[in-house]
Amino acid sequence: MRVKPALLGALSFGASVSVLAVACQSYDFEKVEPVFLAQTTVEVTLHARDSKPNIMLLVDTSGSMTLPVDESDPDCRVPYNGEQVICGNSDEVPCNTAVCPTRWTELQAAVPGFLASAGPHVRLGLTTYPDTNGERGLDAFCRPSSSRTVQKDLPEAEDDASLLEHANKINNIIQAIPNSGAGRPVGGTPTSLSLRFVKDLPGFQDKDRKQFVVLLTDGVPNCNPDNVYQGSDAECRCTTESGCGPTQTGRRGCLDKDASVSAVRELRAAGIRTIVIGFGAETATGDGPAVLEAMAQYGDFPRTCKDGQTSCGPGDACDPVTNLCQRSYYQAANKEELAQALEDISKDVLGDEPCLIKLEPSELPSDPSLIVVYVDGERTAAGEGTWTLGEDGVRFNGAMCERILASTPDAPVDIEVRAIRQR
């Protein structure tokens, strides 16, 4: 879309009457004063049937996902070895999710709505990490995504029904991962290496469509054996309770910020944008915000705030000049906030309504008669089957909307809107 605001000029009394008379309007003026007119011209080429975007969900299934979403909840404390401990910390003390929801059960509750609504319009895939392959120990817990953890690859289908069926299968896979027992989330957070793995997936080699990775993680990245810091370095920010000494996790326990940011930059260079969602307390405190913010900024998917919105969620404000949220990544503390983040992402990925040309309040005409709409170079009057002017802009209806919805990149619809506003 191209918007061209232009100041038409400071007109004398006589000149004002002359210009406005062309539109068959008459105006009464109380004073002979300059009148300022501004013209907004919006030119847009629409093709509603774009190639559907690719979205690979890269979901963290590390052991911390079975921790309570609210660790202060008394229902999340259980007896163990003669004392009350927070549930979910080990296989011996699983949470009773009927009274103590965990990060994993909240994620399971949040994703079905997103998959159902976005499913027909997006080519979705699902990859999890780490790839423990059912094994225990540091090597398994730090193994990044692999072909084994591509739970559902990006599909080749393009039709709505097939894509919705594919999205439903992704939901079934997520719902089938238990919160406790065999197959539950376990291990560390090898984020950088997992991002590099998904970059090279075959489905992402199609450069003619929009491409996204949605990284959903509840912890800061670690598990990189090639981390620039080792456990004995003062610069190592240890992420594990067991420590990062040479006999413990070593380099793999150190915070892996630099490599994770580099992986996001590599994805962007390959035409793939990364959307970062932090879920749970660990991504909202300590090193979490700085790490996820750096990744999100290079991921090139800014969070937007529009239509008079002043807040971007708890602790975040909207910049009224740029219409961007101050925090670049999405932060969710529970299923409601996670569901909202996924809904916002879906709206931004899929774009605006094809049959609506949005105009800001400052771009709307000062009188409904001072707007002209051209469709494929032909002036088109407002009415049934064409368009109407509303507070949000020009909305096409009936046969004209159907024509827009049927458009393709090879057969687009060119629209030009010209509006005049007296200031």
Q: What are phi and psi of 144, to 5 degrees?
A: -75, 180
Cα gap 390→356, rounded to integer Å: 10
Could you tell me the residue ranges of all domains in the chain?
A: 2-48+355-422, 54-67+102-221+256-350
Share of the chain above pLDDT 70, in %: 86
Which amino acid type is present at position 261?
Answer: V
Cα gap 95→77, rounded to integer Å: 8
On the question of pLDDT at 1 being above 50, the answer is: no
Cα gap 47→407, rounded to integer Å: 5
How confident is the model over 406-415, as pLDDT tens digits?
787 778 888 8
What is the DSSP code string of 90-156? STTS---TTTS-BHHHHHHHHHHHHHHHHGGGSEEEEEEE---TT--SHHHHT----GGGEEEPPPS
User: Would you place residue 51 in the very low, low, confident or very high pLDDT band (cuts 50, 70, 90)?
Assistant: confident
Report whether the peptide linkage leading into residue 130 is cis, meaning its omega lies within 30 degrees of zero: yes
Q: What is the pLDDT of residue 361?
A: 84
Q: What are phi and psi of 118, to 5 degrees?
A: -85, -20
Q: What is the pLDDT of residue 41?
A: 63
On the question of pLDDT at 2 being above 50, the answer is: no
On the question of pLDDT at 242 being above 90, the answer is: no
List the end-to-end C-alpha distance of the chain, in Å, as a whole number: 24
Q: What is the pLDDT of residue 389?
A: 93
User: Would you place residue 35 in the very low, low, confident or very high pLDDT band (cuts 50, 70, 90)?
Assistant: very low
On the question of pLDDT at 40 being above 70, the answer is: no
Provide mean pLDDT across the span 103-121.
96
Contact 352, 123 (CB under 8 A): no
Contact 274, 212 (CB under 8 A): yes
Q: Are strands 272-279 and 330-332 parallel, antiparallel or unpaired?
A: parallel
User: Would you place residue 3 in the very low, low, confident or very high pLDDT band (cuts 50, 70, 90)?
Assistant: very low
How confident is the model over 70-97, as pLDDT tens digits?
999 999 999 998 899 999 988 889 999 9
Provide mean pLDDT across the span 250-261.
96
Beta bridge pairs of residue 78: 85
- For residue 155, the Cα-to-chain-centroid distance in whole angstroms is 20
Q: Crossing angle, helix 191-199 and helix 257-269, to 10 degrees? A: 10
Spatial CA neighbour of 213 closest among 197, 226, 227: 197
How confident is the model over 161-180, as pLDDT tens digits?
999 999 999 999 999 999 99
Q: Which fold has domain 54-67+102-221+256-350?
A: Rossmann fold (3.40.50)
Q: Give the three-class secondary structure for 277.
A: strand
Provide mean pLDDT across the span 261-280.
96
- For residue 74, the Cα-to-chain-centroid distance in whole angstroms is 34
Contact 175, 116 (CB under 8 A): no
Cα gap 128→165, rounded to integer Å: 20
On the question of pLDDT at 46 being above 60, the answer is: no
Q: At which residue do the structure tokens 């469509």 appear?
A: 209
How confident is the model over 324-341, as pLDDT tens digits?
899 999 999 999 999 999
Provide mean pLDDT across the span 34-42.
55
Provide mean pLDDT across the span 192-201.
97
Q: What is the pLDDT of residue 19?
A: 28
Cα gap 371→248, rounded to integer Å: 70
How confident is the model over 199-237, as pLDDT tens digits?
999 999 887 789 999 999 999 999 999 999 998 899 999
What is the DSSP code string of 183-248? T---S---HHHHHHHHHT-GGGG-TTS-EEEEEEESS-----TT-SS-TTSTT--B--TT--STTT
pTM of the model: 0.77
On the question of pLDDT at 403 being above 70, the answer is: yes
